[in-house]
Chain A
Amino acid sequence: MGKIFETPLYPYRRSPDQDRPAPARHAAIVVGAGPVGLAAAIDCALNDIPVVVLDENDKVSFGSRAICFAKRPLEILDRLGCGAPVVDKGVQWRHGKVFFRDRQVYEFDLLPERGHKRPAFINLQQYWFEHYLVERLKALAAEGKPIEIRGGNRVVSVRPGGDHVALDVVTPDGPYAIEAEWLIACDGALSPIRAMLGLDFVGRVFEDNFLIADVVMEADFPTERWFWFDPPFNPGQSALLHRQPDNLWRIDLQLGWNVDKEQEKSPERVIPRLKAMLGEEVDFELEWVSIYTFQCRRMEKFRHGRVLFAGDAAHQVSPFGARGANSGLQDADNLVWKLKLVRDRIAPESLLDSYDAERVAGADENLLNSSRATDFITPKSEVSRLFRDAALDLAARHTFARPLVNSGRLSVPCTYDGSPLNGPDADALPRRTRPGSPAPDAPLGSGWLLDRLGGRFQLLAIGAPAPDSLDVYGVPVETLRLDPNDDPSGALRERFLGGAPAALYLLRPDQHVAARWTAYDEGAVRAALLKTIGRT
């Protein structure tokens, strides 16, 4: 059996669009079937926005690339209907060790907060992640949802028009033209669409190379994240070992800048390096070897008229901190409900500018975090190395220095503080659920809170009277009434009430808090809803 990432999943098939006299116009076209494009397309279909996904390839990601997926993207997948297979296949972990030179300096337990349906992290090969998204996409298509994926379709030109975007696509059968009312560009870090539109992508280049090897081995290393600074087997550099499902292990070795990449990728060079790390006696097989360099950069704006950039096409971060795919999924989550309202002419087109504002803020947070981790791992000056080593030496003896050690701050979702869509806040309620924040999960007597949220506007009424539903200029707001006593763990109270006896939360379709109050006031809810759809 071939590897999953070598099997065509959506092989090229001729589309009727290729035989039409005039270009077919689709409501939405997504370019790129990576994790972000697939998620965006699925969300479009769930919102009944007819969508076509174009990818030059016909397979999932070659090699695993992203392996670490955080809770928020898993919650997004739950909303999209494919969280369960991803989490079931993934490996959960919470422990880790940090080594400096030849010794362990400390071990940690992420101590994930209890009372969430989804774990803080899972490790899963990106190809499996994409595989489950493709399956979900196909299942939706089979149910009759307006979604289609076309492999072997390479976009070669993009021309924005007044009310559409025109595309030229090359296929094994030759070129054809197609149009989109809205184009979602998820075509990766090298984004040809970005280049076609002559748009910027500025940031910092990190002059470093990392050798990444996925090896299959029957090893009894625990399911932990092991990170080495300056280990004897890779002097002056860093190393990472992390487990994936199927006895697959991720090894990441920093190589430095002046290396011969082709030579370093050859098994004659890779195998001795890995043996030095894992021990001579460990038997392993190489599944995938690659060398990567990275940059930390973003586009100045993610929205360009009817072209919306998402994922790596819009922003690129270092892998330390697992923020690439994780943040790209949050882009999709943020974008599609807005597109739906704009397309239905319920919200003004300017609502899409809030996609830009909110996700640029998210990208900046990720860029800051991943640049800091990278600077700690690879100090850029002598004095920076001096302090890095000081922190590591102290961490072995004193707990205070451990939070200073930075081998990647693992992805957490962005709170859209200061978003133009945020409505009023109530000071008495807990800070973590302030407007702009993603609603945290909580166990209810039966099931989980987040399973009951999302995909529509909702008014979460906890211990407060509120009507069953509201209609605000054609936007339905559905009330979800919760009893503050139906709270077996106390998490609901802690996360949503604090000391207050009752609370009302206006929630967006992406489960983010738009506004909140301690008592119901219809006028206030209406005003907040209008604000969150960009109508004021």
Chain B
Amino acid sequence: MALITTPNIVDPDDFYAELIALHQGRAKEESDAINARLVLLLANHIGDRRTLREAFEAAILQERTEP
């Protein structure tokens, strides 16, 4: 499945607030650990290696070569 890069989250403001709240009051080290665990959890949920690779590319702000 191609990586979805168009809006896909219902109530984006709520999601964003929850994400920030997750890190509220935590030390940088703890936040970093949470983020790493989050990446692994979400990556496993997606599962598909092609989609994951597209996400890696998108994350480093690389232009997509193919549609």
Contact = CB atoms under 8 A, between A and B. Distances in A.
Interface of A: 386-387, 389-391, 393-394, 398, 400-401, 404
Contacts, number: 24
Interface string B16-40: 0000000000000000110011011
Contacts of A393: 33, 37
A417 B47 CA distance: 26
Contacts of B36: 386-387, 389-390
B58 interface: no
B37 to A, nearest CB: 4
22 contacts: A386-B32, A386-B36, A387-B36, A387-B39, A387-B40, A389-B33, A389-B36, A390-B33, A390-B36, A390-B39, A390-B40, A391-B40, A393-B33, A393-B37, A394-B37, A394-B40, A394-B41, A398-B41, A400-B44, A401-B40, A401-B44, A404-B40
A521 to B, nearest CB: 39
Contacts of B32: 386
A393 to B, nearest CB: 6
Interface of B: 32-33, 36-37, 39-41, 44
Nearest to A400: B44
Contacts of A398: 41
Nearest to B29: A386
A202 B37 CA distance: 36
The 8 closest A-B pairs by CB, nearest first: A390-B36, A390-B37, A400-B44, A386-B36, A387-B36, A390-B40, A386-B32, A394-B37
Contacts of A404: 40
A391 B33 CA distance: 10
B26 to A, nearest CB: 14
Nearest to A390: B36
| Most chain A beta-carbon contacts within 10 A, residue among B32, B37, B39, B44 | B37
A13 B7 CA distance: 81
Given A390-B39, A394-B37, A394-B41, 14 more contacts: A386-B32, A386-B33, A387-B36, A387-B39, A387-B40, A390-B36, A390-B40, A391-B40, A393-B37, A398-B41, A400-B44, A401-B40, A401-B44, A404-B40
